[in-house]
Structure formats: structure tokens, C-alpha cells
Chain A
Amino acid sequence: MNMIELEINGIPVSVKPGTSLINAAKLVGVKIPTLCYHSDLEPWAACGICVVKVEGSPKMLRACATAAGPGMKVTTHDPEIVNVRRTVLELILSTHPNDCLQCSRNRNCELQTLAEEFGIREVPFEKRLRDLPVDNSTTSIVLNPEKCIACGRCAKVCQNMQGVWALEFIGRGEKTRIAPAADVTLDESPCIKCGQCTAHCPVGAIYEKDQTREVWNAIEENKKHCVVQIAPAVRVAIGEAFGYEPGEVLTGQLYAALRRLGFNAVFDTNFTADLTIMEEGAEFVRRMTEGGVLPQITSCCPAWTDYMEKFSPDFIPNFSTAKSPQQMLGAMAKTYYAQKAGVDPKNMYVVSVMPCTAKKFEVSRCETMTSSGFQDVDVSITTRELARMIKQAGIDFRNLPNEEPDSLLAEYSGAGTIFGVTGGVMEAALRSAYFLITKEDLKDVHFMDVRGMKGVKAAEVDIKGTKIRVAVAHQMGNVEMLLNQIREAKAKGEETPFHFIEVMACRGGCIGGGGQPHGATDAIRAKRTAGIYTDDEKSVRRCSHHNPMIKKIYEDFLGKPLGHKAHELLHTGYQERKVYKK
């Protein structure tokens, strides 16, 4: 490849064609300030803070949207450029509230950071706040348009990455606001609650619905028996809130922290990930051998479930009826564990900690979420909310010992932990499906073809002569292409191109979830992913069906996969929903 040679601040640098000036500058140790730019998205040059001078150009150019050219001489910082940037910042601040202390993004806000770096002490422009109401209509996400700086990241994420189009620029000029179309609330809009808007917002304009108060109240209430579960992807990201590198596996410290917060029992969603595989794997084998509807499609991602019910209800028969691990744990806690521990499920309060905002929606998604006779999971909080609770409790996370969870609903195999990454549910299912079909165990449990960041991954797996064609999609906007492939084959009367499909709404899977610590980029997702695979490699047991506590729960309580009791407690259904509620 011909490299492009240019000079940035007099320093020669050589970059691949198409490299933006922002990324070229990083190579010579220069950070150009940005607000609207995000490495997940194509640049659209909205904010103007990244302007630079390029010799020969009569005006300053935006470094995010300008590709490095041969022989370019770029100046990234001089008094004039810094002044322009300062003005951009002052104009944004003139329409932005000064309530940083009460903001969900306090000390973690890109605008606040820039204001600090530029040493802004006063704003010469008249303060003009926009008196627009907060939209807290959904179970998961709060939109506060007053704090919006109209950078557009959330809308671009919602439209281009996720293909949902719940958010759009409404209006024009200084009246531009980001909102759902057609005068509806977020809850009435196509929003799937994935929360990628909240993960990408540079400020506190769109954020997770904070439910930590509810959790504190439950813990403080003496009558309540509070149990908690943590999802696979939480353990490799929570550390970022306490100064660890992304991807550090902190399971033991998390168990310790949760116990110190006051939970009566600490469980692990990885256990019910194994349980999901038992049910979903059995369901798949049944569909394969008894001529059921194929492909089977995974359903453990609630944002994806919501998307499918709204946009692609023709795939309802393809959806695995197995509940997600979060919901299975709730159901098992309020039945199996309640019996064993002698606790009245009426007094039990189940909290889950998820990398996800859509999980808040899932806890009351439909009537099967109360299979125990009570709401199976009472409240679902995000990784970000848990980090805040740990800090509020004065727990020195970095100096916690490794502790063990409570045994009944916590032991997990490597298959359970990889639910947290794209391809993980598929890989876990294949590890057990192989056993279910052949009655033999795999010698090599790794399915490398379903791993990695490619938007859609397809592979053929040979299970002793039975060829299984699988596909994995992540980042919601990638799924439609895959579904269309299946629709086309169906319309032509051809055999289905795939037998089994895994879909996760967020880029990289749950490790890149909308409830994870802010600032995820592909580099950070890669580290979190590596953490998950490390956890898998370190596991003594790599397949869900080898988990002794899974064997025990079937022997003691559930009977067999897809059996009567399992059906009642561990399976759900789907229904077509309107894209716009009104």
C-alpha cells in the first residue's frame, strides 16, 4: 500500500490512505480536541472544535473529516486555532446548564473535561438555556434535551450503527433538538432500549435511568432478603471505574463488594447462562431432529428481542423460547433457592447487575417474567450504577479480597462466561450441542470462526457428519442483512442458509453494552473481550453440561431440559409490537 507522507506541526508522519488528520496527529503525539467525533462513527463535522490549519487552504479545516493528503503541512495548535476552539466551546457552554455537580456525567464528561483543559472561567455570551422537558418515559433511558449539545452522536449511533431510528435531529439552527420523530415520547418511539446513545453521549443529555435508590431502599429494609446476580460482561469492565485497565477480570472482588453492600446472597448470571444453554441447546437439537422451524435465533438480548418484535415479527417462530440468563436467575432464585434457603419469595428482592440498559426493560417485558408468582427480577442496574453504589458505600474496591459467591446459583463453566461477547452464546451452544447430538465431548472446544468483530460471521460446523450452518451478528444495524438472506431463501423455497443464529444488539456483544463504563472504543472492547476469553480459558469446565450445579438443579428441581417445570419457569413467548405506539 502506498503510504501518505505529510507533516504535522513540522514532524513528518506516514499514514495509510484515508486516515483522518485526527488519527494522523495521534501518531506524532498530538491530541486534537473533539466533541462530535467518535471512532465508531463516520465523521460528520458538527461541532467544529477540531479545526486545524492546512498550508494552502484559505480556511481552517475540521480534522475529523479531512483525510491526510500527500505533502500536507498541518498545524494543529497555534494561538489563532486555540482561540477559535475556545469560541466554539464558549458558544456551546452558553446554551449548556452549569449544574455539573448534579449531573450523571460529573467528572466523566467530555465537555467538562474540555472546559477544564481550556481553563474556561467565564463565558462572554448571554446564557440561553432551552426550556425543554425531560423525557423519562422508558424503563431504561432518560433524555434531557436541555443538556444536549447537538453533537448528534446519539442519533448517528441509533440510525447508522443500530438501524433503529428512534432519534433524529428535529428542527433547524439554534432550535435543533434531538428527539423521537412525530411528537412521541421515547417509549412510544421505535427505541429498543439498547442504550448505545447513552454510551456514546459526550455529556449528560441521555443516560441510564438510575435505580440505585430502589436497591438501597431494599437493602435497608430489614424484612427483605436481597439477592444479587452479576452478568458475564460486568466483571471485565467494572474495574474501569476504579482505575483498572479494561478487561481485568474482577469476579472475586465483585462478589466481595456485593456482599459488603449488604446483599444476603451473591449469585452469578454465568450460572444461568449455562442453564440457558441447556434449554436453548436442547431446543435447537429438537428443532434439528424433529423438523422444527429453522434457523433458531437466540433471544437472550432484550434489545434484540424488542427490535425483532417491532421490526421483524415474521421471525417470531424462529426465536428460542428460552429466557435470558437474567430472567432464569430471577425465576430460580424465587423458587429453587427460596425453597432451599427457607425464604418466602414474597420477601425476596432480586437485583441484577447488567452491562445493559435494555435489561431494565426486560424485567417486566411480558407476563412470563413473573413465572415465580412474583416479578422474578425486581430491579436491574447497569455496571455504571453498581460502580456508583460501591463508591457511595465507601468500599475500597482495589483492596478487596477475592471472595466466593453463594454456591447454589453461581458456579459456572467457561461456556457461561463467554455469553458476554459476540459469538459467545453460539460457541457455548455448539459446545453442548455437540455433546447432545453425538453423546461425546469435544476435544477442542474453541470455535474461532464465530469470534471477532466482523459484523456478520458465518461458519459451518461439522458435528460428526451433521453439517450445522451458523451465523452471528452484533451491532443491531447488521442484522437486517442476515434476516433478508433468510427471507429470500424462504421466498424461493430454498433450504435455510443457516440453522442457528446468534444476535446481540451492541457492538462486540455485552462487553460493549449500553450500560458499561463510558468511553468504549474498539480498542477497549478488544481488551474486555480478551478478559472474557481469559476467564473461559481459566475455567476448569468449559461446557455448560459439565457444570455440576447445573446437573444438580435438574436432578433436585427442574427435571429435564424442556420438561414441564423448565417450560413453566425458563421459557417465554413473543408478540408483534408496533414500531410507533401512536
Chain B
Amino acid sequence: MSKNKLPDELLRFIDEWKDKRGNLIMVLHQVQEHFGYIPREVAFEVADLLNVPVAKIYGVITFYHLFKLTKPGRNRIAVCMGTACYLKGGEDIILELERLLGVGINTVTPDGEFSMEAVRCIGCCGLAPVMTINGEVYGNVKKAELTKILKKVKGGK
């Protein structure tokens, strides 16, 4: 396995957490934060550094919905499918986004600009239906606004 795929800040973080309980989840969170997903070679390197089996890491990252194994789009759309958002038409938002982006859920657009996923309640049910793009919250989303929002997000990059 080739070494030093990890940036210094991650290496420092791993060093700090190396011998602490619950370190694997903490480290994987940081890795995901940094890369947007858990690259395979990084998973192998983390296994080495923390002295845990690779299989254990994959057990964890395939168990938790949050961890991703593939690289997301440059802009990450998360549509809330919690109870309130679901009732207020969250599914319609997803269908419309699929139509606009031309790809289904959990898939990256061919140009790498967007990826979309459905998520559980993100804690602002009063604004339902809700979605986030790159962490920014969009409340009371209407289907008709989506084209504009996507254009704005893409243009802003």
C-alpha cells in the first residue's frame, strides 16, 4: 500500500486519537470530512495507522449511512425525507431533481457537478420540505425553484 496519502492534519488527528476509545469512528469522520468520502487506499492506510483490520473499517463504513465509499459530486444535495418533509412533498423534490440532473439518487452527474441523496430528518421540520446543498439549508422548497437554485449553485463555483 502506498504511503502518505493522508494530509498532515489528518495524520496529526490520528496520532492524537490513536490510543483512545472510539477512535475509529472519529478518524473516519475526519477522513470523510476531508475527502468527501472514504477512498479505498485511505481506508487501508487508516487500518495500518490504527492497527485495526481493514475488514473492521469496512464493517463500520458500510454500516453507517453517513460514510461514503464513492466520491460525491462537487455540489452535494441532500433532500430530507424525515416525516414532516416526506408529508410536505420531499419525494416530489427528489423526483424533480432526478429529472433536472438526469441521474438517480446516490449517483453523481456525468460532469461531476452534482450528487444527490435522501437523508433522515435534519432538524428543521418547520421549514419542510427541506434540502441542503453543500450544508446550506433551503427551506419551503418548491419544485419550480429548483432550476434556479441549481443554476445559482453551479454558477457560484
Spell out A's residues near B (CB within 8 Å). Answer: 159, 165-172, 180-183, 190, 579-580
Contacts and interface: CB of A to CB of B under 8 A. Distances in A.
B60 to A, nearest CB: 9
B54 interface: yes
Contacts of B64: 172
Contacts of A170: 58-59, 62
Contacts of A167: 55
Contacts of A169: 59, 63
Given A165-B53, A165-B54, A181-B54, A580 B44 contact: yes
Nearest to A165: B53
Contacts of B43: 182
Contact of B56 (A168, A171, A183, A579): A168
Nearest to B65: A172
B40 interface: yes
Given A166-B55, A172-B64, A190-B53, 4 more contacts: A169-B59, A181-B55, A181-B59, A182-B44
Q: Is the interface of A mostly helix, strand, loop or mixed?
A: loop
A142 B58 CA distance: 21
Q: Is the interface of B mostly helix, strand, loop or mixed?
A: helix
B57 interface: yes
A487 B53 CA distance: 20
Contacts of A579: 54
B137 to A, nearest CB: 27
Interface in B56-99: 56-59, 62-65
Contacts of B57: 181
Contacts of B40: 182-183
Contacts of A171: 62-63
Contacts of B55: 159, 165-168, 180-181, 190
Nearest to A177: B62
A460 B54 CA distance: 38
13 contacts: A165-B54, A165-B56, A168-B55, A169-B63, A171-B62, A172-B63, A181-B55, A182-B43, A182-B44, A182-B54, A183-B40, A579-B54, A580-B44
Given A182-B40, A182-B43, A580-B44, A172 B53 contact: no
B3 to A, nearest CB: 15
Contacts of A580: 44, 54
Nearest to B54: A181
Interface string B19-63: 000000000000000000000100110000000011111110011
Contacts of A159: 53, 55
A166 B55 CA distance: 7
Contacts of B62: 170-172
Nearest to A580: B54
Nearest to A180: B55
